[in-house]
Structure 1
């Protein structure tokens, strides 16, 4: 069964509703450029509120290694998601402390996907060029190049996640903007519908 991550969690309430709906992972965004930026203290409280069930993923973009590790520890996340043009040594350093979701854009696949094939502690995620922008990828065009065992993000929501899964058979799916009533606030009905559609696809 495809795993499901609900990203952009900014409150205890949204963490609880996502966990109760069956999310396998919750994403807390610590990249300062995001409209869904959350503090480590709130992320930690939200993670504690749902217990050990869902993975708690800290999302970072182009941030210094020491900042990533310090924030991840303060927030008590269980995994780290890495966006941006960072080096393989940077990703490997984080993977010494946390499982890593290494996010690539379609344009990055040819150059970087093979680097992480079968590397312990690192899982690939394919996302749109503008993360959180709500624009889906061209799943049919990516079918031949989609890495085995990778996760999929980019414009996914209740209405299209089943189709995306049928095209690419990802190990997991991740959504943000199409699950919101407004930026940073989840729509309970959309979260429930998304998780249900993904798990029954």
Structure 2
């Protein structure tokens, strides 16, 4: 079980998440996001917590060259890809960085079949509107949820244990329910989220 705190925009929030026990920080480079961060700011925040915490860049609709350029400048350790993308594009990124490939519920079965044998690509199931804070219907997705996949979409301290209990993901990811406002983490919510995920994983082994 891995825990990712996404939408990190500052050294303060990076340190907060790392101190709470998060395994990974998410830095959003999609221009449409209210949590947009520069590569330089992401690099500073990521390096402030040391190499044991993964630094994941979140991209939507950017060209392959731009993704690789930003990933290098920000010193990322993995890349999270949203949106409709060709398999060649995903493979192009995966040649350089481990990939979290984000899919919606309607895409899950096909994506699981496509990437089931590629160790460089891990699926992440997310809501149709990422960062919107609306949970998925976990029970309805149980039959198609592949082993080793991550879960996002409306997760927070109050529901992550239930989500893990239903789907047994390899990792969980949260943004909006961990914030005081977009781009600023709520310290108590971050700690509670990580603690809830950690306390649940022993009951639902992979």
TM normalised by structure 2 equals: 0.96
Q: Which residue of 2 aligns with 1:98?
A: 97
CA distance in 2, matches of 1:110, 1:100: 18
Match of 1:76 in 2: 75
Report the alpha carbon displacement of residue 94 of structure 1 after superposing the two structures with TM: 0.4
SS at match of 1:9: coil
- 1:53 Cα shift? 1.1
Once the two structures are superposed, the pairs formed by residues 146-161 of structure 1 within 5 Å of their partners are: 146-161=145-160
- Structure 2 equivalent of residue 179 of structure 1: 178
Name the SS of the counterpart of 1:50 in structure 2: coil
- 1:162 is paired with a residue whose SS is helix
Distance 1:15 1:170 in 2: 23
Which residue of the partner structure matches residue 165 of structure 1?
A: 164
Query: 1:49 — aligned with what?
Result: 48
Q: Which moved more, 1:28-37 or 1:103-112?
A: 103-112
Aligned residue for 1:143, secondary structure, equals helix
2:100 is paired with a residue whose SS is: strand
* Superposed displacement of residue 109, structure 1: 1.5
2:140 maps to 141
Shift, 1:113, TM fit = 2.0
Which residue does the alignment assign to 1:190? 189
CA drift at 1:145: 0.6
Shift of 1:111: 2.7
1:41-84 residue CA offsets vs partner (Å, 9 max, x unmatched): 00000011001111000000111000100000000000000000
Out of 108-117 and 53-62, give the one that drifted further. Answer: 108-117
Aligned residue for 2:119, secondary structure, equals: coil
Residue in 2 aligned with 1:130? 129
Size of the alignment, in residue pairs? 200
Aligned ranges for residues 50-65 of structure 1 at < 5 Å? 50-65=49-64
Instruction: Supply the distance in 1 between the matched residues of 2:155 and 2:34 (Cα, whole angstroms).
Output: 18
The residue matched to 2:173 in structure 1 has which SS? strand
Counterpart for residue 14 of structure 1: 13
Q: Distance in 1 between matches of 2:110 and 2:196?
A: 33
Let me know the Cα RMSD of the aligned residues: 0.6
Classify the secondary structure of the residue corresponding to 2:66.
helix
- Per the alignment, residue 109 of structure 1 pairs with 108
Q: TM-score, normalised by structure 1?
A: 0.98
